[in-house]
A and B are shown apart, each in its own frame.
Chain A
Amino acid sequence: MEPFQKTIHEVSADLKSKKISSVELTKNVMDHLEKVEPKVQSFITVTRDEALRQAAEADKRLASGSATVLTGIPLGIKDLLCTKGVRTTCGSKMLENFMPPYNATVVERLNAAGSIMVGKTNMDEYAMGSSTETSAYQKTKNPWNLACVPGGSSGGSAACVSADQAFASLGSDTGGSIRQPAALCGIVGLKPTYGRVSRYGLIAFASSLDQIGPFSKDVEDCAIMMGAIAGHDPKDSTSADVPVPDYVAEMKKSAKGLKIGIPKEFFPDGLNKEVSEAVKKAIEELKKLGAEIHEVSLPASPYGLAAYYVLAPSEASSNLARYDGVRYGLRVPGENIVEMYSKTRAAGFGPEVKRRIMLGTYALSSGYYDAYYLKALKVRRLIKQDYDKAFEKVDVIATPTAPNPAFRFGEKTGDPLAMYLEDVFTVSINITGMPGLSVPCGLSKSGLPIGLQLIGKPFDEATLLRTAYAYEQATDWHKQKPSLREG
C-alpha cells in the first residue's frame, strides 16, 4: 500500500514511529496528486513548494515530541477559505487575483496543529451549485466515473479525498455542499452545527446557513478533523461557546440503545430505488448493531427546498453586494461609479450567481418581501419545530443524503430547478442549524457511491460520529476505492 492511500490515523502513527518523514509523505502525496490531477481536476491552485516547506517544519516538530495527530498530514482546502498570501478565488472570475492578507480561523487552527496544505480545491462559483460545474475555472470529475460530476459545491474537496490526493479536506455547506459531494464521491462528510466551527475568513454565501466542515476517508479521520477545527472563536460573533468533546473517544462508544428516527417524508414514491434500498439496508444494519428504529414525522420538511431557495438567494444578494470593484476583486472601468459597479458585476459573476442575486433581490424587494422572504422565515420555524419534536423521541435521524447517485456532466445545467432538487434531503438541516453527516452505504449497479445521511441534535456531532463509526466498522464501503476511469 502506498502511503497516500492510507488514512490520517494510520499515517499519523507512521509519522510518529519515524517509519516515514513528513517531507517523504508530502512528496508521495504531491507526486500522486500531480499524476492524477489532469484526470480529476480537483484543485484550482496546487501549493507544492509551500507544502514542502510546511512538511520540513512538521518534521522538526515531530522530532521535538510536540506533534499533534495532524502534524505532517497533507490536506486540501476549499477555495473560499482565506489563506494568507495564497490566491483565493471562490471559484469566480471576480476573485481571480485575490490574495487574502489573513487566514481563516480554521486555517489558523490547522496550521497550529501542524498539518500541510497541498492546494485550494475547486468549487461551484461562490458555492452556488450542486455539481461544481458553475466553477469559472474547470470541471472536477467524479473519481468513480470521470464522465460524472463529483457533486457540489465542494466538489474539489470531495474528489481530492476520494482520489487520495489529500488525506482529508475542508469544505463548506450552505444547503448540502459537504454532504452531497461526500455521498457522490463515496467518502465521509460532516456539516457541523451552525456556530460549532468559526466562519471567520470564510467567503460568505448565506450567513445564517453557511458552515465549514471536513471531508475524510473514514469516520475516525472525520472525528480527528472536527477536534482540530471546532470551538469558540471571538472573531465570529455567531460562534458558539459550547465545550468540544473528545470526538474520537465519543465515537468509539457502541451504537447499542441509540434511538434512530426514520422520517417517511424522506422516502417519497419515485425515490431512486438503488438509493432507497441501500439506505434501508444501512438502517437494518444499525438495528442489528443494537439501535432502536422509530418512525418519525417531519411534515413541513418537504417545503424545506422552497424555503431555502428564497432564504439562501436573499442572503446571497445582500452578501455579494460587496463585490463592487472598489476595495478588492475585479474592476471593469465605467463612465461613473454606477456604470463601473454594473459592468464589474456583469463581467465578474457567472450565470448561476447572477440568477441567485436577482432571485434574492426580487424576494427582498418592496411589495414582495412579505410574500417570499417573510413567508420563508415562517416556514423555517415550522420546519425547526418538526425536528425539535422528533428529537424529543430519538437521538439521530437517518435519511438518504442525495436523491440520486452521481449524474453526468451537462445533465442538469440547462434547468436550474432540476439542479436545485439535488439538495432536497440536505437543505432542511441548514435551515434548522443542526449537524448532518454523510457516510458511504452502498454502490449502485453502475458502481457509483450512495450516502446515508445522519442528522443530530444541535452540538451533538459526537452521536453522529458514534452512529456512523459503528455502521462503518460493520461494513466495508469505506474500503472501496474509485477506478479513476470513464464509464
Chain B
Amino acid sequence: MALSEKDVQYVAKLARLEVTNEEVAKYTQQLANILQYVEQLNQLDTSNVEPLTHPLDMKNVFREDVVVPSLTQQEVLSNAPEPQSGHFKVPKIM
C-alpha cells in the first residue's frame, strides 16, 4: 500500500491540519517509511486472534447519580481564547 501525496493531503484535511506543499512532500516520505516498517505485522498469523483494545480486564464503572461540586462557569471559561457572556465564541459555522 504505497502512500501518495494525495493520501497525505486527504489525511491532513481529515485531521484539520493546514499543511504546506513542502510539508506534504516531507510527510509523504516519512509516513511511507513508517508504514513500511509496520508492514512486518503481516508476518504474524492473526486469523484466529481476537483484538485486544485494553491491556487489562475492564468493566463499566458506575457511580451514584448525585450532584457534587464542580468547576464554576468562570473557571471553565478562564482559558477560553474568546469568551463572551458566559459562552465560548467561535467563527461562523455555515
The answer on a CB contact under 8 Å between A379 and B46 is: yes
Interface string of B46-64 (1 = CB under 8 A from A): 1001111111101001010
B25-51 interface with A by 8 A CB criterion = 27, 30-31, 33-35, 37-44, 46, 49-51
Q: What is the minimal beta-carbon distance from A270 to any residue of chain B, in angstroms?
A: 17
**Complex partner residue of B93 from A325, A336, A431, CB under 8 angstroms:** A336
- Chain B residues with Cβ under 8 A from A371's Cβ? 1
The answer on a CB contact under 8 Å between A309 and B38 is: yes
- Chain B residues with Cβ under 8 A from A208's Cβ? 53-55
The answer on a CB contact under 8 Å between A346 and B19 is: yes
Chain A to chain B contacts (Cβ below 8 Å), 13 pairs: A97-B79, A101-B78, A101-B79, A333-B91, A334-B91, A336-B92, A339-B91, A342-B16, A345-B16, A358-B15, A362-B35, A365-B14, A380-B51
- Chain A residues with Cβ under 8 A from B76's Cβ? 101
Q: What is the minimal beta-carbon distance from B64 to any residue of chain A, in angstroms?
A: 10
Interface string of A168-211 (1 = CB under 8 A from B): 00000000000000000000000001110000000000001100
- Residue B75 is within 8 A (CB to CB) of chain A in the complex: yes
The answer on a CB contact under 8 Å between B82 and A331 is: yes
The answer on a CB contact under 8 Å between B90 and A337 is: yes
Complex Cα gap A325–B51 (Å): 35
Count, A-B residue pairs, CB within 8 A: 162
Complex Cα gap A93–B30 (Å): 23
The answer on a CB contact under 8 Å between B61 and A380 is: no
Complex Cα gap A307–B82 (Å): 40
A326-342 interface with B by 8 A CB criterion = 326-331, 333-342
Chain A binding surface SS class: helix
Given contact pairs A306-B40, A358-B31, A361-B11, a sample of 5 additional A-B residue pairs in the complex whose CB atoms are under 8 Å apart: A101-B75, A339-B91, A359-B31, A378-B46, A431-B55
**Complex partner residue of B58 from A238, A336, A345, CB under 8 angstroms:** A238
Contacts A98-B79, A101-B76, A335-B91 given; indicate if A433 touches B49 (C-beta within 8 A).
no
The residue of chain B having its C-beta at the shortest distance from the C-beta of A432 within the complex is B55
- Chain B residues with Cβ under 8 A from A303's Cβ? 40-41, 43-44
Interface string of A338-366 (1 = CB under 8 A from B): 11111101100100001101110110010
Residue of B19, B35, B40, B80 contacting most chain A CB atoms (<10 Å): B35
- Residue B86 is within 8 A (CB to CB) of chain A in the complex: no
Interface string of A452-465 (1 = CB under 8 A from B): 00000010000000
- Chain B residues with Cβ under 8 A from A193's Cβ? 56
- Chain B residues with Cβ under 8 A from A336's Cβ? 91-93
The residue of chain B having its C-beta at the shortest distance from the C-beta of A311 within the complex is B53
- Chain B residues with Cβ under 8 A from A430's Cβ? 55
Total residues of chain B contacting the partner, CB 8 A: 52
Complex Cα gap A30–B52 (Å): 46
Q: What are the 9 A-B residue pairs with the smallest beta carbon separation, nearest first?
A: A433-B55, A377-B51, A328-B79, A331-B81, A378-B46, A381-B52, A346-B18, A101-B75, A342-B18
**Complex partner residue of B90 from A326, A358, A378, A416, CB under 8 angstroms:** A326
- Chain B residues with Cβ under 8 A from A379's Cβ? 41, 44, 46
Q: What is the minimal beta-carbon distance from A78 to any residue of chain B, in angstroms?
A: 20
Complex Cα gap A328–B79 (Å): 5
Interface string of B66-94 (1 = CB under 8 A from A): 00000100011011111000001011110
The answer on a CB contact under 8 Å between B93 and A416 is: no
Complex Cα gap A330–B81 (Å): 7
The answer on a CB contact under 8 Å between B30 and A355 is: yes
**Which of B's residues lie within 8 Å of A, judged by CB?**
1, 3, 7-8, 11-12, 14-19, 23, 27, 30-31, 33-35, 37-44, 46, 49-56, 58, 61, 63, 71, 75-76, 78-82, 88, 90-93
Q: What is the minimal beta-carbon distance from A414 to any residue of chain B, in angstroms?
A: 10
Contacts A334-B91, A335-B91 given; indicate if A384 touches B55 (C-beta within 8 A).
yes
**Complex partner residue of B53 from A307, A359, A377, CB under 8 angstroms:** A377
The answer on a CB contact under 8 Å between A358 and B56 is: no
The residue of chain A having its C-beta at the shortest distance from the C-beta of B82 within the complex is A331
Complex Cα gap A98–B63 (Å): 30
The answer on a CB contact under 8 Å between B11 and A358 is: yes
Complex Cα gap A144–B44 (Å): 41
- Residue A472 is within 8 A (CB to CB) of chain B in the complex: no
- Chain A residues with Cβ under 8 A from B40's Cβ? 303, 306
- Chain A residues with Cβ under 8 A from B16's Cβ? 321, 324, 338, 341-342, 345
- Chain B residues with Cβ under 8 A from A378's Cβ? 46, 49-52
Interface string of A93-106 (1 = CB under 8 A from B): 00001110110000
Residue of B12, B19, B33 contacting most chain A CB atoms (<10 Å): B12
The answer on a CB contact under 8 Å between B91 and A358 is: no
- Residue A69 is within 8 A (CB to CB) of chain B in the complex: no
The answer on a CB contact under 8 Å between B11 and A416 is: no
The answer on a CB contact under 8 Å between A374 and B52 is: no
- Chain A residues with Cβ under 8 A from B8's Cβ? 358
Q: What is the minimal beta-carbon distance from B16 to any residue of chain A, in angstroms?
A: 4
Complex Cα gap A349–B16 (Å): 12
Complex Cα gap A99–B76 (Å): 11
Complex Cα gap A238–B58 (Å): 7
The residue of chain B having its C-beta at the shortest distance from the C-beta of A241 within the complex is B61
- Residue A228 is within 8 A (CB to CB) of chain B in the complex: no
**Complex partner residue of A354 from B17, B50, B79, B93, CB under 8 angstroms:** B17
